[in-house]
């Protein structure tokens, strides 16, 4: 029980860190692809430095011990980042938010198929409540004419769910190096399309904080938390970033969110909190 509680707290911390993306995006006056490049570069270097300091001479054997799940994590995580950016270009933020809120259900299906891991009914009920909350936040804004973008958003959700399943599958070894490699791969993919001007002209301190405190810290906590918590529960807790993201922008830039955002956010927070306080341990078996 203590391990599950610790895992839930690590995952909640991961969601809080990840929710800072909107704040840093508003703070740094660069285009999205350039932001992705620098964020991935700083995050990847930060994570691998943490791994090197933590494990020192054991770093390379630990990386080898990840095996194919580690490679899959790097591929799926990088693919999710690319698809996410593409979906935002072809559909509305509301569409992406609502589709992303199906993550616990997609994860539950993949967890059963790949791990034979099942969650209790309470987690699924809480996931449904969180999905309802995100729908309220989006004010029913799933719109027509965005089929391609919505398909990309769904592909993003499936890719991220697959990454979480692979982290869970390899929970007997640390998968932190894999998420560090994922960040560097994402940066390499974004590099040809990014505007890389003189380094002296860039806001390097905010970019470094964006990479380390938002993405790097989030992925480290996610990797550690998923070793202790079932995949579906982890996906549900990760939805905390949806209501928290507008909160930071509100506090930092005085952008008052609409009433629907506050109501939907309260529903999501309530669903996740209830799930953490009254967990139903998964009936898990690894195929």
Asked if 8 contacts 237 with a C-beta cutoff of 8 angstroms, the reply is yes
Per-residue pLDDT averaged across 55-68, rounded?
Answer: 78
Share of the chain above pLDDT 70, in %: 90
Asked if 38 contacts 192 with a C-beta cutoff of 8 angstroms, the reply is no
Lowest mean pLDDT among 41-45, 143-147, 220-224, 233-237: 143-147
Condensed to tens digits (0 to 9), the pLDDT of residues 239-271 reads: 888 888 888 888 888 777 777 777 887 888 888
The pLDDT value recorded for residue 143 is 52
Whether residue 221 has pLDDT greater than 60? yes
Q: Coil, strand, or helix at residue 283?
A: strand
Whether residue 284 has pLDDT greater than 50? no
Per-residue pLDDT averaged across 213-226, rounded?
Answer: 93
The candidate with the shortest Cα–Cα distance to 255, out of 268, 265, 245, is 245
Q: What is the mean pLDDT of the chain?
A: 82
The pLDDT value recorded for residue 285 is 41
Say how far apart CA 243 and CA 263 lie, in whole Å: 10
Confidence band (pLDDT; 50, 70, 90) for 210? very high
145 CB burial (10 A radius; 0-12, 13-18, 19+):
exposed
Whether residue 142 has pLDDT greater than 80? no
CA distances 215 to 110, 172, 211, 247, Å, are 24, 23, 5, 18
The pLDDT value recorded for residue 286 is 39
How many Cβ atoms are within 10 Å of 9's Cβ, its own excluded? 16
pLDDT greater at residue 4 or residue 178: 178
Confidence (pTM):
0.83
Q: Which two tokens stand for residue 83?
A: 């698809």
Q: What residues does each domain of the chain span?
A: 2-277
The pLDDT value recorded for residue 47 is 95
């Amino acid at each position: 029980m203590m391990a599950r509680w610790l895992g839930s707290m690590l995952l909640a911390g991961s969601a809080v860190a990840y929710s800072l993306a909107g704040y840093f995006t508003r703070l740094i006056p660069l285009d999205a692809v350039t932001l992705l490049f620098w964020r991935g570069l700083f995050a990847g270097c930060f994570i691998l430095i943490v791994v090197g300091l933590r494990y020192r001479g054991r770093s390379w054997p630990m990386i080898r011990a990840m095996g194919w799940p580690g490679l899959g994590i790097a591929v799926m995580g990088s693919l999710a980042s690319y698809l996410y950016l593409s979906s935002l270009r072809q559909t509305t933020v509301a569409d992406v938010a609502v589709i992303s809120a199906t993550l616990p259900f997609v994860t539950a299906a993949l967890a059963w198929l790949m791990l034979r891991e099942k969650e209790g009914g309470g987690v699924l009920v809480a996931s449904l409540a969180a999905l309802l909350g995100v729908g309220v936040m989006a004010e029913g804004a799933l719109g027509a004419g965005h089929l391609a973008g919505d398909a990309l958003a769904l592909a993003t959700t499936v890719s991220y769910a697959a990454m979480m399943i692979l982290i869970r599958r390899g929970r007997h070894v640390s998968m932190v190096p894999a998420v560090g490699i994922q960040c560097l791969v994402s940066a390499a993919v974004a590099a040809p399309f990014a505007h890389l001007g003189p380094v002296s002209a860039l806001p390097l301190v905010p970019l470094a904080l964006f990479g380390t405190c938002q993405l790097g810290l989030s992925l480290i906590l996610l990797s550690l938390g998923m070793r202790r918590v079932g995949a579906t529960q982890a996906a549900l807790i990760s939805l905390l970033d949806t209501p928290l993201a507008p909160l930071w922008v509100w506090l930092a830039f005085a952008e008052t969110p609409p009433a629907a955002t506050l109501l939907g956010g309260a529903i999501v927070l309530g669903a996740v909190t209830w799930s953490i306080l009254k967990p139903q341990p998964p009936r898990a078996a690894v195929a």
